[in-house]
């Protein structure tokens, strides 16, 4: 028998105990009415801790990543081929756990379920940037909202395609632009790298941005056919954190980045702690 939710499995005997206590109280002896507090207490405990309880069980019994999603990674996620062979199973496992532990919602005229391949596409970016850390769930950033087009929000009322809201623990993405970035990375800015880079730095601010040399970013972008203005146009954001640009170019234009800014490459590799990534 496959148990998908330990809390739901544990609640079944609580219902049985409640039925037994109710029978005793109603048909046998009303002096035993205090027994009803036992299943009530257990039910409250299970309800309060159902999230951590289910995740703990799922982490101990993580199913393998669906073969079709593995094939998707191999075909469309270029950095999957950077991973050391011995780490690929753990990488897949972390994707499964991330997809399970985070809430994904497709936003449109009505809220819809997010397809598994879209979840995998987004989760892979989070797992990539945290492959050298224990906390690959990125703290309390636990909701990912997905549009198929640029969107306004209360925080940024103009149309934009990516937002990392740390106060609400939300990442919002335009899935159409993200898919285009994976298919044609030299022409489309990868907003998932941007969003998770911003979240990562906000959660783990253990590298001062002044340690990175920002002076050659414009030179790099000119060399690879990019401009800051183009990034702003594609994202719809007036402000692009330098750290997000560094992380994006480190992964998307790695060879150029390392040749032009080798000191920055060393700093980023140390910050991300990438022992399982072949660069």
Report the pLDDT value the prediction gives residue 112, as an integer from 0 to 100. Answer: 81
Token pair recorded at residue 48: 């309060």
- Report if residue 121 sits inside a domain: yes
115 falls within a domain: yes
Both structure tokens of 61: 């019994």
Q: Do 150 and 43 fall within a single domain?
A: no
Instruction: List per-block mean pLDDT (blocks of 10 residues) for the chain, which spans 279 residues.
Output: 53 62 61 62 61 67 92 93 86 94 88 90 96 87 95 96 96 97 95 96 71 87 92 96 94 93 90 73
pTM: 0.82
278 found inside a domain = no
6 within 8 A of 54, measured Cβ to Cβ = yes
Residue among 73, 81, 202 at smallest CA distance from 135: 202
Q: Which helix (H) or strand (E) holds 6?
A: helix 6-23
Residue at 81 is within a domain? yes
Helix pair angle (116-129, 191-203), 10° resolution: 50
Whole domain around residue 242: which residue ranges? 67-272
Provide the token pair at 7. 């809390």
Q: Are residues 193 and 247 part of one domain?
A: yes
The predicted pLDDT at position 152 comes to 96
pLDDT at res. 155 = 94
Radius of gyration of the chain (CA): 23
Q: Which of 123, 155, 149, 151 is nearest to 137 (CA)?
A: 123
277 in a domain, yes or no? no
Q: Tell me what pLDDT residue 14 has.
A: 58
Q: CB within 8 A of 250, min separation 6: which ones? A: 257, 264, 265, 268
Q: Are residues 84 and 118 in the same domain?
A: yes
Domain co-membership, 99 together with 138: yes
Q: For the chain, what is the domain count?
A: 2
pLDDT at 62: 82
Domain identity same for 87 and 163: yes
Q: Residue 184 has which token pair? A: 């044609």
**One domain, residues 131 and 35:** no
pLDDT of residue 166: 94
Do 24 and 102 sit in the same domain of this protein? no
Which pLDDT score, from 0 to 100, does residue 76 have?
92
Whether the CB-CB separation of 247 and 202 falls below 8 Å is answered with no
Residue 10 has a pLDDT of 56
Same domain flag for 99 and 191: yes
Q: Say what the pLDDT of residue 150 is.
A: 97
Residues 92 and 180 in one domain: yes
Whole-number Å distance between alpha carbons of 112 and 142: 17
């Amino acid at each position: 028998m496959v148990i998908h939710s330990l809390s739901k499995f544990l609640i079944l005997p609580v219902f049985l105990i409640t039925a037994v206590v109710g029978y005793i109280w109603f048909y046998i002896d009303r002096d035993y009415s205090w027994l009803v507090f036992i299943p009530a207490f257990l039910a409250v405990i299970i309800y309060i801790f159902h999230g951590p309880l289910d995740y703990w069980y799922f982490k101990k019994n993580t199913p393998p990543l669906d073969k079709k999603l593995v094939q998707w990674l191999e075909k469309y996620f270029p950095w999957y081929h950077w991973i050391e062979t011995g780490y690929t199973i753990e990488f897949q496992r972390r994707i499964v756990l991330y997809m399970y532990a985070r809430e994904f919602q497709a936003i449109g005229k009505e809220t819809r379920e997010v397809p598994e391949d879209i979840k995998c596409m987004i989760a892979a970016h989070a797992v990539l940037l945290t492959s050298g850390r224990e906390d690959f769930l990125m703290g309390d950033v636990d909701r990912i909202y997905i549009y198929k087009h640029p969107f306004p929000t209360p925080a940024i009322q103009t149309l934009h395609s990516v937002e990392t809201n740390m106060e609400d623990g939300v990442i919002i993405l335009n899935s159409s632009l993200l898919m285009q970035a994976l298919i044609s990375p030299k022409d489309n800015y990868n907003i998932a790298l941007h969003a998770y880079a911003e979240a990562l730095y906000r959660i783990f601010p253990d590298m001062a941005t002044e340690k990175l040399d920002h002076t050659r970013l414009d030179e790099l972008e000119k060399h690879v056919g990019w401009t800051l203005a183009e990034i702003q146009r594609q994202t719809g954001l007036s402000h692009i954190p330098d750290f997000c640009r560094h992380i994006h170019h480190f992964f998307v234009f790695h060879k150029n980045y390392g040749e032009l800014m080798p000191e920055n490459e060393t700093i980023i590799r140390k910050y991300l702690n990438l022992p399982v990534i072949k660069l």
